Structure 1
Amino acid sequence: MEFSAYQREAAETVQLDLSKANGRVELVLGLMAEVGSLAKAYRSLLRDDIPLETQRERLERDLGDILWYSSMVAQSVGIDLDEVANSNLKRVTDRHRKVVKQEYRPSFDHGYAAEEVFPRRMLFEIHPAKAESTFEAPHVGFRVVDASPYAFKGEPKLNANGKPIGFQLGASIGDPVNDNSAKGDGYRYHDAVHVAFMAVLGWSPVMRELLNLKRKSKPATDHVEDGARASDIEEALSAALKAFSVTRNDFRTDADIDGDTRNLISLLTADLEVADVPLWLWTQAIRQGYDAMASLIANGEGWLLADLDAQTLKFSADRPAF
């Protein structure tokens, strides 16, 4: 039986006036009572060691009553139970990776020239650096050491306007950065999070800008997906995640990336190409980025190996094999 069919037949048994507040409130109170009855069965399991298997009839009855009340709550506000089920399934599969091996490989670079796409493997060095600044604080530099495939061998390549494109191996990318904070919280290593977004999600307007890999062959993509606003959104997300991490165990486990964190991601990225990436993959990206950042903070420097095919970011204190 489909949910909507059950809902229609169940509606014929309602003895309450669902057009009035009292009837609707009684539905919710009834739902709460049935959930309480179900909870008693589980209390019996813990308190009296009564196996749930011996309470099958009771469990079926309680679950059936919960289904009836839930469907009537939906009926009272004009919501189809099929829509509820489909929406809920979409939401939970978006947030939680299925137990059966599940893959999602974004293809934001598909169809673009080699000079406009992320290499599939990249090795970065993060090291202490000096900066021309009157602000006395530790700074770090960021350079790309190796990349495969590498599309910029030989003389620097220029675009149609005569400006250089791409990056040079061994050269620094971006300026030396500090925590920009009076607390000294290690945020100077937050580029690890951007690299994790690139490695796991195949997305990072910030990394495209740093590596000079904007997709200029398609003006709309260049201006919207690779433009200043998209980079600002990613930086805003990175800063917000840092603030969230303080009360979320520095994102050491999947459970630390909670509903509020996922809602923030959905809100900020709703109008970007990355909006369709499932939230369970975001969880992997954040976990890997924060693991790498924690290692960099502990060591003061290190190496990051990004593998876009494996969707992984790995930290190493010493230069790893490439």
Structure 2
Amino acid sequence: MAQTMITLDGYQRLAIRSDRTKIGGGIDLAVLGLVGEIGSLLSETKKKQRDARSYLGYEASVVEEMGDVLWYLAVLSHHAGLLLSDVAGDRAKEGTDPTFAELQPQQTLALQTPTVAFERTLLRLAGEVGRIASLGGRGNFTGDPALRELLSGIFDTLTSAADEAGITLEQAAKRNLAKAEDRWPTERAIPPLFDESFPQEERLPRSLVVDLFERTGGNNKRYVVQRCNGIFIGDRLTDNIMKPDDYRFHDAFHYAYAAILGWSPVTRALFRQKRKSEARVDEGEDGARAILIEEGVATFVFGEAKRLDFFEGQRPGDLGFGFLKSVRQFVRGYEVEACPLWLWEEAILAGNEAFRFLREKRGGRLRLDLDGRRLSVEDIPA
């Protein structure tokens, strides 16, 4: 996709494949999303002005936010029965499907600081989106004759904002499609396991059965122990918090990462499967820092999941995009960063499903299948 020109309607056809906003025949969610993305774009500008020296990644953020605005615009047009080329207005000849490059033939420039013109155009864009939101407040406005004109105005102003920012909408569109594919892929192609090229003794076990169960020690203190092939492994785990919350069962998360992502420095250390044949990998991917990073991921996920009943009833596609992005931020620079967001979601959901079982039954048997990228949980046989 990065090497080919993309047309407006071609982009729209790809964008609507990840549309989850059409509910109950209305288009309010798409309108709300558009309003929200304009707000995010303005927020990026504000942060750059306020924290000019310390705020990094401004250009990348603006490109991403413009791509999100473009996505909602394409989806909203689709809901209204319009092609994106239909709302391009005077920028496209009627009956044609131009490429984004044809609408913006200028070269991109580095976006370092928000200009006054850019700020004013964004405010104008916010006003135009506000008008379409006001129109939508009256109900389902798919057939409203004013809709096409309003959408055309938004598209024209968005293009002007991109011109002033030195950003092409083609760049924003392609990055947006890659982002959607990362989260809601058309085909779920599972990446290869990270240790496939290593000797067998350095690979995570492709099949593993681990029992986790609770014990009560002195002072009625509860802890969790683990057993594999009849041998007790690891340390006794407690909640390590003033108010108990069953965090002692959290190794279910680590086993989910191992089974589904093919990544878990914690599990490697526990079963002594570190990749010592390559010193850089042994230290950089399987070492103490990587273990701490994974523990940080597990703690963050646990904290978020605890607020939401450990994602009970959640299915693939339900977890928040921002939450998944934050999880992957933890592992930036490590091999698992290459795993797509949808696979992270599957690992998180599987880990929480196992955790809920362990918490309810006070123990259980976990079965890891790395080849099938699955984690299951069941009662421990009597």
In 2, Cα distance between the equivalents of 1:210 and 1:62?
A: 60
Equivalences for 1:167-316 in 2 at 5 Å? 170-252=230-312, 253-254=314-315, 257-316=319-378
Contact 1:304–1:314 at 8 Å: present in 2 too? yes
Matched, 1:65 2:153: yes
The residue that corresponds to 2:227 in the other structure is 143
- CA deviations over 1:91-126 (Å, ceiling 9, x no partner): 2222x232x441223320121111000122111111
In 2, Cα distance between the equivalents of 1:23 and 1:203?
A: 47
The structure with more radius of gyration: 1
The residue that corresponds to 1:36 in the other structure is 133
Decide whether aligned partners of structure 1 residues 33 and 127 sit closer, same or farther in structure 2, where only a CA change above 3 A counts.
closer
Q: 1:102 aligns with which of 188, 209, 213?
A: 188
Q: In structure 2, give the amino acid aligned to 1:172.
A: F
Decide whether aligned partners of structure 1 residues 135 and 68 sit closer, same or farther in structure 2, where only a CA change above 3 A counts.
farther
Offset, 1:59: 4.6
Superposition RMSD on alpha carbons, in Å? 2.6
The residue that corresponds to 1:6 in the other structure is 103
In 2, Cα distance between the equivalents of 1:22 and 1:126?
A: 57
Decide whether aligned partners of structure 1 residues 70 and 38 sit closer, same or farther in structure 2, where only a CA change above 3 A counts.
farther
Offset, 1:240: 1.4
Q: In structure 2, give the amino acid aligned to 1:126.
A: L
Contact 1:130–1:176 at 8 Å: present in 2 too? no
The residue that corresponds to 2:82 in the other structure is none
Q: TM-score if structure 1 supplies the norm length?
A: 0.77
Tell me, what secondary structure is at the counterpart of 1:172?
Answer: strand
Q: In structure 1, give the amino acid aligned to 2:280.
A: A
Q: Where does the alignment leave 5 or more consecutive residues of structure 2 unmatched?
A: 1-97, 107-114
Offset, 1:72: 1.6
The residue that corresponds to 2:121 in the other structure is 24
In 2, Cα distance between the equivalents of 1:285 and 1:39?
A: 38
Q: In structure 2, give the amino acid aligned to 1:268.
A: F
In 2, Cα distance between the equivalents of 1:104 and 1:43?
A: 42
Tell me, what secondary structure is at the counterpart of 2:224?
Answer: strand
Decide whether aligned partners of structure 1 residues 97 and 172 sit closer, same or farther in structure 2, where only a CA change above 3 A counts.
farther
Offset, 1:76: 1.9
Tell me, what secondary structure is at the counterpart of 1:175?
Answer: strand
Tell me, what secondary structure is at the counterpart of 1:64?
Answer: helix
Offset, 1:297: 0.4
Contact 2:209–2:228 at 8 Å: present in 1 too? yes
Offset, 1:22: 7.1
In 1, Cα distance between the equivalents of 2:219 and 2:283?
A: 34
In 1, Cα distance between the equivalents of 2:216 and 2:118?
A: 67
Tell me, what secondary structure is at the counterpart of 1:266?
Answer: helix
Q: TM-score if structure 2 supplies the norm length?
A: 0.66
Contact 2:225–2:232 at 8 Å: present in 1 too? yes
The residue that corresponds to 1:92 in the other structure is 180
Q: In structure 1, give the amino acid aligned to 2:237.
A: V
Decide whether aligned partners of structure 1 residues 126 and 21 sit closer, same or farther in structure 2, where only a CA change above 3 A counts.
closer
* Equivalences, count: 275
Q: In structure 2, give the amino acid aligned to 1:97.
A: W
In 1, Cα distance between the equivalents of 2:149 and 2:123?
A: 19
Q: Which has the higher contact order (CA 8 A, sep 6+)?
A: 1
Tell me, what secondary structure is at the counterpart of 1:89?
Answer: helix
Offset, 1:82: 1.1
In 2, Cα distance between the equivalents of 1:208 and 1:248?
A: 30
Q: In structure 2, give the amino acid aligned to 1:225.
A: E
More helix by percentage = 2
The residue that corresponds to 1:82 in the other structure is 170
Contact 1:35–1:66 at 8 Å: present in 2 too? no
Offset, 1:262: 1.9
In 2, Cα distance between the equivalents of 1:207 and 1:263?
A: 23
Tell me, what secondary structure is at the counterpart of 1:127?
Answer: strand
Contact 2:225–2:235 at 8 Å: present in 1 too? yes
In 2, Cα distance between the equivalents of 1:303 and 1:294?
A: 13
